Structure 1
Amino acid sequence: MIKGFKNFLMRGDVIVVAVGLIVALAFSTLIKAFTDFVINPIIARAQGSRSVGLGWQLGQGGNKATYLDIGSFISALIYFIIFMAVVYFLIVVPYKHYSARRGATVFGEPGPVKTCAACLSEDLPAAATKCRHCGTEQPPVARV
């Protein structure tokens, strides 16, 4: 039972989804900070109000609603970079090493692709003989 749980957790799909969710969470924090401390003050200034911090006051002094708070945005940006570094070095790198020992390649460079002449889809593997989207025959790739 424990071995099955370990195999479930170490599947590539689970790790990729987990890393994707972590990146999305950190990116959403960055976007929230951008909207809260840069976009919202610009909008509030159009309405008229006051505030304080590292940035510019767009309206009357002391009105936080119209304060372009660059300091908070820089803090969120630093948070995002540190958070992504932690995710990379504590999750991605060890998982790549573990997968390499098992003979699997994860988070590697994507393989070569080609474009279908009929439907112009650009995601066909270079070795494909038929287009996965429209089914047309693909010419073989010249090998060097």
Structure 2
Amino acid sequence: MLKGFKDFILRGNVVSLAIAVVIGAAFTAVVGAFTAAIIEPLLAAVGGVNADGLGFSIRSDNPTATFVNIGALITAIITFLITAAVVYFVFVAPMNAINERMNARKTPVKADPTEIELLVEIRDLLKHGESVTSKSEVAALTDDPTTVDSSGISSTKA
């Protein structure tokens, strides 16, 4: 049971996820400070003389309690977009590129047939009464790009 837990904790995905959570929390603090120090004052300036910022009051008899703060919503959207963009361009895009490169290396390459496999094919053809008489037919069986015609002139397959 402990071995399974150890394998789970040390798996690359769990460690990467833990690192992402820590970095994400730290980055959220930076983006929050940026929006509080720069974006919110700009939105409050656009809102007019009212110090509450961009928004409106639903009831004029209690403006503080019924204030709809559109500036705070815009700030939250900007914070989300900045955070999502940085996470995508700093973490997701590079990891996708690394994974593509790693997967490209893992694609199996079809091996050329061995001499034994070629001899078995020729034997089977001869058993069924088909003849392999010319060098060009042998070259066709071996996927050799160079063929020799009946006159002895070699050429390359297209």
- TM-score interval for Structure 1 and Structure 2 normalised by the shorter chain: 0.3 to 0.5
Larger radius of gyration: 2
Which gives a bigger RCO, structure 1 or 2 (Cα 8 Å, sep 6+)? 1
Q: Provide TM-score, normalisation by structure 1.
A: 0.37
Structure with more helix by fraction: 2
